[in-house]
Amino acid sequence: MIQERITHIGTEAKEALDAVKTVPELDAWEVQYLGRKSELGAILKGLKDLPQEEKRVAGPLGNEVKRTLVAAAAAARTRIERESFDAEGERIDVTAPGTASLRGHLHPITAIENEITDIFSALGFAVADGPEVETEHYNFDALNVPADHPARDMQDTFWLASQKSSEGGLQEEKQQAERYLLRTHTSPVQVRYMERHTPPFRIIIPGRVFRNESTDASHEHTFHQFECLMVGDDVTVANFKWIAETFFSRFFEKSVTVRLRPSFFPFTEPSFEFDISCTLCDGTGCSVCKNSGWLEIGGAGMVHQKVFQAAGYERGQYQGFAWGFGITRLAMMKYKIADIRSLLAGDLRFIRQF
């Protein structure tokens, strides 16, 4: 009786399996004939209650039918998946161009700053940095800028208002005498670095500076500047001229000559304005250099001994040179940008060109 029922279940299950065409139908078939609550499953669980003689026959038969149905289900699943596979729909054209992803890139000012850093690092210079909110001492006093110098005027410098405490007085007694401003140049970092280091050393100082002035195509209240400082026992103007010519030649990837003209800066003595041979006409004369063959770049000079004294060195103990120029202007020269305001306008249409 039980053997006949097991055989009937096996036959019925095989006939039902032949009609299965999809994976969901196969899953339902497995639940019906091989699941824990299936009739075959119930019979196999109840074998322990059968007489010994009947158990000897029904047990192997039930297990054999189950193994046969499991194998048939596996074969049916393989067949269904193979027949349902759409080769054309799944085909991938490996030669088709991919979809470009939007990627950011460096701002032209950052790219120029990185290039400058790489060149000077190869020449043995370290990179120094300092605060953009500076004290009057480091921005002017320590750099030998006279108290009546026009650069200290409100129309040239962004001075910060003193912050008062809840009692109405200044927070610190020190703040009562000290005034703060947005640094007008990167030179304060020179003094801060010298206070913590003993020569010889050579550093570069790239950074952002601020000037309280009207903006136009060639002037901006916020721009980027670069400064170089080399201090030792026997540093001369000849060292500066060689380093400057080496840097500009590597930067513009052509031979560049540096010309020095006498000038005046409070923090250097002697002081120079330095020009480079025009990178467009190679010094022969063009509209960019106004047919002079030279481009005015920045200022330089031997560090004033009063600046060394402000940093804690003895007068006459060391000598060195300092020079700097606008990174923003260098970017305008390299990328032929006509309006300085474009660099900080935040217009992605402009930035994506670089």
Question: CATH code at 233?
Answer: 3.30.930.10
Q: Judge whether residue 191 has pLDDT over 90.
A: yes
Report yes or no on 224 lying in a domain.
yes
Strand order in the sheet with 268-277: 126-127, 201-210, 222-232, 319-326, 294-303, 268-277, 258-265
pLDDT band at 337 (very low <50, low <70, confident <90, very high): confident
Mean pLDDT within 195-216: 93
**Phi-psi map region of 336: left, alpha, beta (phi>0 left; psi -120 to 50 alpha):** left
CB 216 within 8 A of CB 342: no
What are the pLDDT digits (tens) for 219-258? 888 999 999 999 999 999 999 999 999 999 999 999 999 9
Question: Which of 39-43, 199-203, 227-231 is the least confident region?
Answer: 39-43
Which of 22, 52, 86 is the C-terminal boundary of a domain? 86
Amino acid in the structure at residue 303: V
> Residue 119: pLDDT above 90?
yes
- Output the six-digit token pair for 351: 């930035």
- Which of 8-22, 60-74, 141-155, 327-341 is the least confident region? 141-155
Per DSSP, what are the bridge partners of residue 303? Answer: 268
- pLDDT at res. 172: 53
Find the mean pLDDT for residues 134-153.
84
**Residue 192, CA distances (Å) to 37, 90, 137, 208 in order:** 83, 66, 11, 17
Considering the domain architecture, whether residues 80 and 113 belong to the same structural domain is answered as no
Query: 286 and 322 in one domain?
Result: yes
Q: Which range of residues forms the domain containing residue 82?
A: 2-86
Same-domain pairing of 80 and 188: no
In this structure, the answer to whether residues 211 and 318 fall within a common structural domain is yes
Q: Pick the residue with more confidence: 154 or 39?
A: 39
User: Do the beta carbons of residue 276 and residue 258 sit within 8 Å?
Assistant: yes
Could you tell me the pTM of the whole model? 0.67
Question: Phi and psi (nearest 5°) for 185?
Answer: -160, 170
313 phi-psi bin (left φ>0, alpha ψ -120 to 50, beta other):
beta
